[in-house]
Structure formats: structure tokens, C-alpha cells
Structure 1
Amino acid sequence: MLLGTSSGAGKSWLATALCRWYSDQGLRVAPFKAQNMSNNARVVPGPGGAMGEIGSAQYFQALAARAEPEVRMNPLLLKPEADTRSQVVCMGQVSAELGAMPWHARSARVWPQIAAALDALRAENDLLVIEGAGSPAEINLYASDIVNLRVAQHAQARCLLVTDIDRGGAFAHLYGTWALLPEAQRALIHGFVLNKFRGDAALLAPAPQKLQDLTGVPTVATIPMQWRHGLPEEDGLFDERSRAAGAVHTSVAVMTCPHISNLDEFQALRNLPGLRLLWARSPADLAGLGASDWVILPGSKATAADLAWLRAQGLDQAIAAHAARGGMLLGLCGGLQMLGEALIDSAGIDGNAPGLGLLPLVTRFAPTKTLRRTRVRFPTLQGAWAALSGVQASGYEIHHGQTVWHPAMVAGGDAARELIPGLAWQNAAGNVLGLYLHGLLEDPAVLQALFRCAIQVPTLESVFDGLARVADSCFAPGVLQALIAPAA
């Protein structure tokens, strides 16, 4: 199990690396995280063949483990809707009942399902790589913990405690976290990991030994900063320092709305040589874009609220101006909904709002969420997006809204096209494209069609293999083998 001294310490990255490393040893491996809090989600199989949602981190960890992603790997997913409210997804499905419950009562209610998922995965696999959340030393949460110490104790997991040394104070973080753990749980900590290190590792001495003298726990790995590891960031935007070097042929500006969701699907763009990925928060961020550059309206957990934010920043006018001069504009899921004329919410899901008016569409929100994997073949497209004509693409859908033509505008002769019924639309000029297909920009066929100058689209398999090599080189000899050895 990977525990951390804080969020962002590197648990998800390292769990993914270890999933691939242990899979390479011939073991049947699966990931597990009892509770994740993220608006980055993937559609995977659930009980009875129904499709459900899990956090993107566990989705990628499953792929790294060469396992089929499924809802038991992340039985509880919290999708923030505001600072004090989250949509609760239990075993892949939205639960309004759990969402209305107080935190402590919810924990007691869901633990049996979490334990059952954990036990079933343990029985079906040689090894689980379990990820904690935040820090296990949040003493205000001990009584309701269902993701850190309770999971570790239930599974009798051999735990590594990971810290971000780049932030400073790493040894204090490690010691303080260890000291706050109940004594029974301290015994589960088998090693400390210093992550995101920059510099000469010899300069760390004598701190690791002093820490071991205080705790009895060795420092088993010092992992260098990995700016370009190739995995999506789980909890935040990509660091600008991770941008690939080289001559830039295309800039892609992603609107960074307060409730942006599924931002992990843009990591594939970050990996492309010659492409500059920008996070746009003001009209100035779009000022230098040309007609061959892109603006993306991404998914949103609160589409109406994010539309209001765009207008408050003046970004609605900047987006319209980019489209008017022929610039490429892509709306994905919530971004597609924003491109239309209106959002209508009689069910109290998201809110009513006028759209940007760049496609003649109306979106009505429904209580039932659409969750499915989708495979399509694009028909003939016009204009700037013509490279997608005939391309077959795979992705997934996660949306409450159902989008249709604006009847009055269509009757009035608007010449926009519905490319794929209920899924994709294009304006008459050909430069504005909106669709519900998340994962479009992760599909190698799509990337090759759109960026013909790209030398090679890096694959997830190459990313996972690279992570495993880093883990293999950074852990002390024999540590990874010892973590899975039978108890003496």
C-alpha cells in the first residue's frame, strides 16, 4: 500500500509504476483505492454488466497492471461540485442518498461495500497495489477513515510512506506522520520514499539514517523529479515545466474553468512533440492564437457555473472572436453544451443558462447520467476538422445533459451539421466542433490524423514501461521483492 504525507506526494504515480513492475514479474496484479476525490473519471464495467465510473488514476493503474479496469478498484468516488459538496459515486453509480448523508454516517454505511470489493480483489489476484488518500495522519478523520489506516489494517498491507521532498520539510513530514499513527499501524510501515528529488542524493546523509534510528523504518527509495513521466496529473493541471521541448507548430488553449473535469484526457497532447498546451484563464491567453491553433472548451462538473465564469472573465467574447477569424474550436461534453444556445435544467441538476451561441443546440439536463464506452467512425467533415473524415475513434461518455438541435434555428435555415446523431455537431464554416466523446484526443488514430507532423504518438504501454524502469532503478536492491515475500 502507498500512503503519503500529503496529497500530491506521488502516491498515484508510484502505484502505477509498481502495478507495471509487479506485473512484469509474472504476477496477477490489480489496483485498489477505497475512496477517491476527483472530477477525472473513466467509464468501466460494473456489477451485472452495467457501466460505472471510477477515478482516472485507478483506470490507468489497472492498465499498467494489465488488468481490466472495473468499479471494484475504486468503490467510492467523490466528484466535487462546490467547496462543501460532492456528487457521491458508489460502486460506479451516483447515489443521491449517500450524497445527502453527513460524512461520518456515510463512512459507516459504505465500509461493508468497500471491504467486500477489497476482499474479492485480494482473492482473485496475486497482489493488490493499494493507494491511500491524502495523509493517514489526519487525526480529525481517524474515526471515519475508510481509505487509509482502516484499509491497511483490514488487508494487513505492507505500506510505503511517500513524501514530496521538493516541497521541503520531507523528513519532518515523514517523522510527524509516523509519530501520529497509532502504534499498531506504525508496524505496517515498511519503508519511507523520498519523491521528486532534485540534486545529489549523497547530500541527504545523515538524515535517512537518523530518521531510521528514530522510527526503525528505513528510507528505501529516493526518486528523482519526473517532469515528463507521461501520466496525467490526478489532482491538478500539468506543470508548465513538463512541456516538451522543440519547435512549436500548434498551440492548444484549454479553458481552465473552476469546475473543469476529465482534464487527464489532455495528457496525450502534452506528450506530442511540437505542441504547446496552454491553460487559459483570461482573454490575453488567447490573444496570440492563429487560425491553425486550437481553443478547447473541456468537460465541466458545473456547466452553467463555468459559463458564468467565462463571461465574467470576458472569455466568451475572446472565444467567439477566435471562432470568427476561423480558429479551430472544440467543445467536449460540458464544453459542447456551452457552445449551444441554451442549457435547460428542470431537474435541478446543473442550472439554467444561455450558451455561447456558436452551435444551434439546446441541452436539457436529466437525472439519469449517461455512462458508456463509445466507438464511432466520423463521416466527411468540412473545413478545419476535415482530417477527421473517415477516422474511427474510441472514447467514453459521462453526462447528464441530452443535446438536440434548436428547432427554431434549424427551421430558420441554420446550416450546421449533426455529424453523429446525439453525439457530434459541426458549424457550417467547419471550424467549430462539439461532441460528447471524452478520450477523443487519446486515440492514436485521431492524433495521427490531426497532427501529421508528429513524429510518433507515445503509447501508454511505453509510459508504463518507463515508470517501471524508474521504480526498478530507484528502490534499494531486494526491497520490492521483500514487500511481497511470505511472512516469516
Structure 2
Amino acid sequence: MADLANPRTRYKPIMIVGCTSSAGKSFLVTALCRHFANQGVRVAPFKAQNMSNNAAVTPDGLEIGRAQFVQALAARARPEARMQPVLLKPQAETRSQVIVLGRYDPRLTDTPWLTRKPHLWGVVRESLHSLLRDFELVVIEGAGSPAEVNLRSGDIVNMRVALEANADVYLVADIDRGGAFAHLLGTFLCLAPEEQALIRGFVLNKFRGDPMLLGDGMDWLRERTGVPTVAVVPMLAHGLPEEDDIAALAARADRARPSEERAIRVAILAYPYASNFDEFDPLVDEPGVSVSVIRHRQPLDDFDAVILPGSKHTAVSLSALRAGGLAAEVWRAAQRGALIHGVCGGMQMLGRALRDPHGLEGGGEIAGLGLLDVTTELAPAKVTQQREAHCVEVGSVTGYEIHHGVTVAGPRARPHLSDGLGWRQDNVIGIYLHDLFKHTAYRQWWLAQLGWQGRAQDWHARLDAELDRVAQAVMAHWPGLMLRPA
């Protein structure tokens, strides 16, 4: 328990790094943030740089990765841009939009990858030290793997952060992938001696089966590194938002699919650069609602609703819908009366046209699907803010905006949300406001349009309870983790 009467209490930062991407770093950091917050520690998450199109907007209108936003909620802290000072949002195979301290930076976006470090390290360092000053404990997440020796010269997120913070570092391997002991040993040997000295323990994550199957592997590893394996965390099913992985949403939807023959069926389209799809988690969790992620052309005749999520590159996403044949299926679904729902970029695709006079997405004009009487023009200024709006059918709702588009409605599109945030045209809805499905009354109304007879649950209360459950489950398998004075 932290000494809350003494504001100068400080603990050594804890840092989670991984042998690979998707080793479970974000999940473990989230669990640790909630565990120590429940112990009365003033804790904050930190990730120097993230690559994700799944973003959130902080209370002061700044943009950060969704994973760090959820980690702040786990820590019971106000989400802030300094918790994740650099965000890279992929726009093409070799290009990402660069967000620095929550704001789009066009100059750095045009700067080559390997020459960004001198411009970004000072921002990362100051953000880290400001959190270390203001909180008792900072739980840090690495990115990818510190063993990527080809990227070490530009590192601003892994071992350079560990050294700067003098953190207690734990190296995590996804044992479900196989080869975990080789991954741990190889990663450790790729580190410099001063970096190896920071490694306090190894963590085997996503373990299935009998622990006896591990045999003497942990002793073998310690003999070669001097580092103990401190935790074996089992594969834990959970309801936490996933970071930028449509496959994870699909898998979760499959697990949650109801057995009733007459469940409400919702399709979510997974086109290139789809973003912010964790906002549909509340639909997945409702009983009697079946959510399917659609990647390729298939008839949509059996679905009651079709959702077009946001997109980081709307023009490319729309072109992919057309080329793959799904645009035609959306049109057919609309004509038979299915509810078509577009969010942000998805809403822009439903309109008459998307114009790009400033070349933000390559320039020019592209015709929309023509299902909603709106036209969008992309503007250089990016809107990022939390908003309260009036929904014609529901009343007051809250969410967030994150877009470059300026949309003008024609006479056939009537207001759905106030202040130009959403329109409705018969069975087609388009909105700019993200996270509406996390609003209980809106979700209740929306599903009722499809004939759902259930009662919508409070998603925020459900998330908070799930954070507690996950923290307890992880710490049951990591009983020796202790805070050390800074």
C-alpha cells in the first residue's frame, strides 16, 4: 500500500517489453495499472510511441492510442497526451500520419522514418519525466521487440526509455506461438550489457495446459541469463478493447455469438485502413446480438444492419469496397431495408462525393455510394474533441470527433445528431461522433429499430468490472511482483 499521506512517495517504474509484437504487453500493462491503482498507488501508463489507427480523444481534445486511453482508465487516471506522446497512424504501406502530443504534425509526417529520432526524443523524454514527477508509479510499455537490431539507432520506445527511466524491466513471450524460451534467450542476448542489467524477470504469457509441460525450461533459461521466470500467465479470455486488430474483434464476436436462431444480426465491414472498431464492442457483448466481421464479398441478405466503420484513408477504403464487390452488396442491403450505419469515414463513403482539394489522401474527387445526401471535403485542419450532442431519437449523447472532413447535407438527409454531427435518410444513418454505441440509451434505441427485445447494459460499468477481474487474474499468477523505492 502506498503512503498516500506522503506526496513524495516514488517507486521505480515498471516496464513491459516483448519478444514480439502481440506478446500481450498492452494487456499486462493494463492489468498492472488496475492492480496498483486498487492498492492505492497513484499510477500512470506510458508508451513513448505507438502505431495504431485505433485512436481516442482525451478530455482536452488530444489524440492518443486507444490502448493507452484504456490503460489510463485502468489506472483511474485522466487520459493525457503525455502518456503516449508519439502516435503513428498508417495511411499507406510506407507512410504514416505523425501525431505529437496529441496533434497532427505535417512536417514530421513528411520526414523520413530514420531521421525522426532527433525531433522526437526530447518530447518523449520530457513526457516521461513529467509523469515520473507527478505520479508515484509509471508502468511503461515497449513496442514490438527490443531485439530488432536494425531499428536500434532510431529507438525511442524500448531500451532507451528503460535506461532513461532506470526501470525494472520484464520481458514477455507469447508461449502460445511456440519457441518462447528461444525468443526470450535470443532477445536477451541482443541487448547491450547495461540493458540486460535492467531485466528483472521473464514472463511466459498466454499459456495453455499443464504447467508441468514446461519441464526444466525455466531453469535452463536462468542458467544462461541469470534471470528468473517470474510469472506464467494463462491464456485469459477477456472483454477489454483490443488494439487495432480486426481479427481480435472477429474472434471475440465468434466467442460471443448467441445460440438463438433469431438473434439480431449485424455486419461490420473490414476494409483497408478501418479504424476505431473497438467502439462496436458493446454490440458484441449484448445478449441476442450476433456480430460478424465481413472482409470479402458475400451476400448481406441475412443481416439486419450493416456498419461501415471509420477509416484512416477513406478514398482507399471506398475503392477497395468497390473493387471487392462489397459496395454492391451494401447497396443491395440498403434497397431491401437493412439499417446501414456509417461512422466518420464510413459516413463519408455513404455520401454523394468525397473531395480532396488539398491532397490529404492523394487529391481529386471520388464518388460515394450515394445512399446519404451529403458531400464531404477534406480540410487540412484536423478536428479532435470530445462532444456532447442532441440525438433526435434519444436526447443527449456524448462521444468524440476525430476527422479532417467537412460535410454538408442536402435536403434529403435530415438531422440525426445536432451541430452537423450526423444525418439520417430513411434506413441510412451517418455520424461523425464516435463511441455512440457505448451510450446505453443510444444502443437501446438502435437495436430496437432492428426488433431487439433486450435491455442494454451499462458498458462503462461492465468495462470497469472487467478491468478488476483481469487484474486479479493476472496477479494470481504473478504473486511475487513488488514495488521498489525509486
Above 0.5 in TM-score?
Answer: yes
Tell me which of 317, 329, 340 is aligned to 1:306.
317
Alignment of 1:334-345 (within 5 A): 334-345=345-356
Tell me which of 259, 266, 276 is aligned to 1:252.
266
Partner of 1:17: 31
Matched, 1:466 2:469: yes
Deviation at 1:346, TM superposition (A): 0.6
Matched, 1:353 2:366: yes
| Percent identical residues | 47
CA deviations on 1:9-28 (whole Å, 9 max, x unpaired) are: 00001100100001011000
Asked if structure 1 preserves the Cα contact closer than 8 Å seen for 2:297 and 2:329, the reply is yes
Alignment of 1:152-231 (within 5 A): 152-231=162-241
Asked if structure 2 preserves the Cα contact closer than 8 Å seen for 1:230 and 1:271, the reply is no
> Secondary structure of the residue that 1:316 maps to in structure 2?
helix
Q: Can you give the 5+ residue segments of structure 1 that lack an aligned partner in the other structure?
A: 380-388
Partner of 1:382: none
Matched, 1:443 2:454: no
Output the CA distance in 1 between the equivalents of 2:435 and 2:394.
18
Partner of 1:263: 277
Alignment of 1:324-403 (within 5 A): 324-350=335-361, 351=363, 352-379=365-392, 389-403=393-407
Output the CA distance in 2 between the equivalents of 1:355 and 1:128.
46
Asked if structure 1 preserves the Cα contact closer than 8 Å seen for 2:440 and 2:457, the reply is no
Output the CA distance in 1 between the equivalents of 2:270 and 2:132.
39
CA deviations on 1:31-52 (whole Å, 9 max, x unpaired) are: 000000000111115xxx5x21
CA deviations on 1:321-377 (whole Å, 9 max, x unpaired) are: 111111111000000101100011111112421000001110011000011101123
When residues 177 and 36 of structure 1 are mapped into structure 2, their CA distance, relative to the original with a 3 A threshold, is: same
Partner of 1:77: 87
Q: Which amino acid aligns with 2:407?
A: T
Higher alpha-carbon deviation: 214-223 or 140-149: 214-223
Asked if structure 2 preserves the Cα contact closer than 8 Å seen for 1:88 and 1:96, the reply is yes
When residues 419 and 72 of structure 1 are mapped into structure 2, their CA distance, relative to the original with a 3 A threshold, is: closer
Output the CA distance in 2 between the equivalents of 1:41 and 1:121.
21
CA deviations on 1:401-449 (whole Å, 9 max, x unpaired) are: 010024xxx3xxx36446423111000x2x2110001111122332344
Output the CA distance in 1 between the equivalents of 2:307 and 2:327.
12
Output the CA distance in 2 between the equivalents of 1:193 and 1:445.
42
Output the CA distance in 2 between the equivalents of 1:129 and 1:287.
47
Output the CA distance in 2 between the equivalents of 1:371 and 1:361.
21
Q: Can you give the 5+ residue segments of structure 2 that lack an aligned partner in the other structure?
A: 1-14, 448-452
Partner of 2:6: none
Asked if structure 2 preserves the Cα contact closer than 8 Å seen for 1:373 and 1:396, the reply is yes
Asked if structure 1 preserves the Cα contact closer than 8 Å seen for 2:33 and 2:74, the reply is yes
Output the CA distance in 2 between the equivalents of 1:236 and 1:321.
24
> Secondary structure of the residue that 1:238 maps to in structure 2?
helix
Higher alpha-carbon deviation: 208-217 or 456-465: 456-465
When residues 390 and 245 of structure 1 are mapped into structure 2, their CA distance, relative to the original with a 3 A threshold, is: closer
Output the CA distance in 2 between the equivalents of 1:212 and 1:102.
40
Asked if structure 2 preserves the Cα contact closer than 8 Å seen for 1:87 and 1:99, the reply is yes
Output the CA distance in 2 between the equivalents of 1:227 and 1:194.
16
Deviation at 1:103, TM superposition (A): 1.8
Output the CA distance in 2 between the equivalents of 1:29 and 1:83.
36
Tell me which of 277, 296, 303 is aligned to 1:282.
296
Asked if structure 2 preserves the Cα contact closer than 8 Å seen for 1:272 and 1:457, the reply is no
Asked if structure 2 preserves the Cα contact closer than 8 Å seen for 1:365 and 1:401, the reply is yes
User: Under a length normalisation based on structure 2, what TM-score does the superposition of the two structures give?
Assistant: 0.91
Count of matched residue pairs: 459
Output the CA distance in 2 between the equivalents of 1:33 and 1:285.
42
Q: Which amino acid aligns with 1:364?
A: E
Partner of 2:54: 40
Deviation at 1:287, TM superposition (A): 3.8
Deviation at 1:236, TM superposition (A): 4.1
Deviation at 1:212, TM superposition (A): 1.2
> Secondary structure of the residue that 2:123 maps to in structure 1?
helix
Deviation at 1:209, TM superposition (A): 1.4
Deviation at 1:270, TM superposition (A): 2.3
RMSD of Structure 2 on Structure 1 (CA): 1.7
Partner of 1:386: none
Deviation at 1:229, TM superposition (A): 3.6
Partner of 1:123: 133
> Secondary structure of the residue that 2:386 maps to in structure 1?
strand
Asked if structure 2 preserves the Cα contact closer than 8 Å seen for 1:2 and 1:161, the reply is yes
Output the CA distance in 1 between the equivalents of 2:102 and 2:251.
35
Moved over 6 A (4+): none
Partner of 2:10: none
Output the CA distance in 2 between the equivalents of 1:110 and 1:436.
31
Asked if structure 2 preserves the Cα contact closer than 8 Å seen for 1:227 and 1:241, the reply is no
Deviation at 1:234, TM superposition (A): 3.6
